[in-house]
């Protein structure tokens, strides 16, 4: 969401009757952990090292977004606001339309009162992250879920995973 579409801070000399229905006391900030699948992206890969070849692949991602919503909002409203924000952000990138994407809300939580710059439902913080994966790769999907859960949702570093093949220990990735 562009910075210009956020309602500016209201001056103190405006009468309270002129304030919109969603005043400062009623707006809250929510964190929403979502999974989006079905974005079709065109990737250019060189064929035989020299001939450009466009290939379409489907991707998904896990994301954690902070958005403003009226107080006591429930998951359907939060998911709808997140869908609208993601459609604005990724519709130009994807060949598939936002209606074709599968968007699922994994978790949500209320984090506090909305600051003055978030006085419109659906305003999102520009500083949000996502962990992408190729849609056909289940191992990458599980890894990205673990990564997004630890780093983006819980705010800590993901632990290093050790894998055992036979009797030999193979070092895992740190996320």
Residue extents of the structural domains in the chain: 21-168
In Å, what is the CA distance from 87 to each residue of 58, 59, 79, 93?
Answer: 16, 15, 12, 10
Question: Is there a contact between 24 and 7 (Cβ–Cβ < 8 Å)?
Answer: no
Taking the C-alpha atoms of residue 23 and residue 87, their distance in angstroms, rounded to an integer, is 26
- Counting runs of H as helices and runs of E as strands, what totals does the chain give? 2, 6
Judge whether 84 and 122 are in contact, CB under 8 Å.
yes
Distance from C-alpha of 17 to C-alpha of 10, rounded to nearest angstrom: 13
On whether the CB atoms of residues 111 and 66 are closer than 8 A, the answer is yes
pLDDT tens for each residue of the chain, 175 residues long? 444 434 333 333 333 344 344 444 478 888 899 999 989 888 777 777 777 777 888 999 999 988 888 888 888 888 988 888 888 888 888 888 889 999 999 999 988 887 777 767 776 767 778 889 998 889 999 999 999 998 888 887 656 555 545 555 555 544 4
Where helices occur in 28-137 by DSSP H, the ranges are: 75-90
């Amino acid at each position: 969401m562009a910075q210009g579409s956020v309602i500016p801070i209201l001056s103190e000399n405006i009468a309270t009757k002129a304030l919109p229905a969603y005043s400062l006391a009623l707006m809250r900030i929510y964190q929403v952990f979502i999974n989006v699948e079905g974005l079709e992206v065109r990737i250019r890969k060189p064929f035989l090292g020299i001939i450009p070849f466009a290939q379409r692949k489907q991707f998904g991602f896990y994301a954690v977004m902070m958005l403003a919503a009226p107080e006591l909002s429930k998951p359907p409203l939060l998911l709808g606001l997140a869908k609208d924000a993601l459609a604005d952000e990724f519709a130009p990138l994807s060949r598939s339309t936002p209606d074709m994407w599968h968007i699922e809300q994994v978790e949500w939580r209320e984090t506090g009162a909305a600051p003055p710059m978030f006085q419109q439902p659906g305003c999102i913080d520009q500083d949000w992250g996502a962990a992408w994966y190729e849609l056909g790769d289940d191992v990458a999907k599980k890894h990205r879920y673990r990564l997004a859960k630890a780093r983006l949702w819980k705010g800590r570093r993901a632990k290093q995973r050790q894998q055992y093949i036979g009797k030999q220990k193979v070092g895992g990735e740190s996320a």
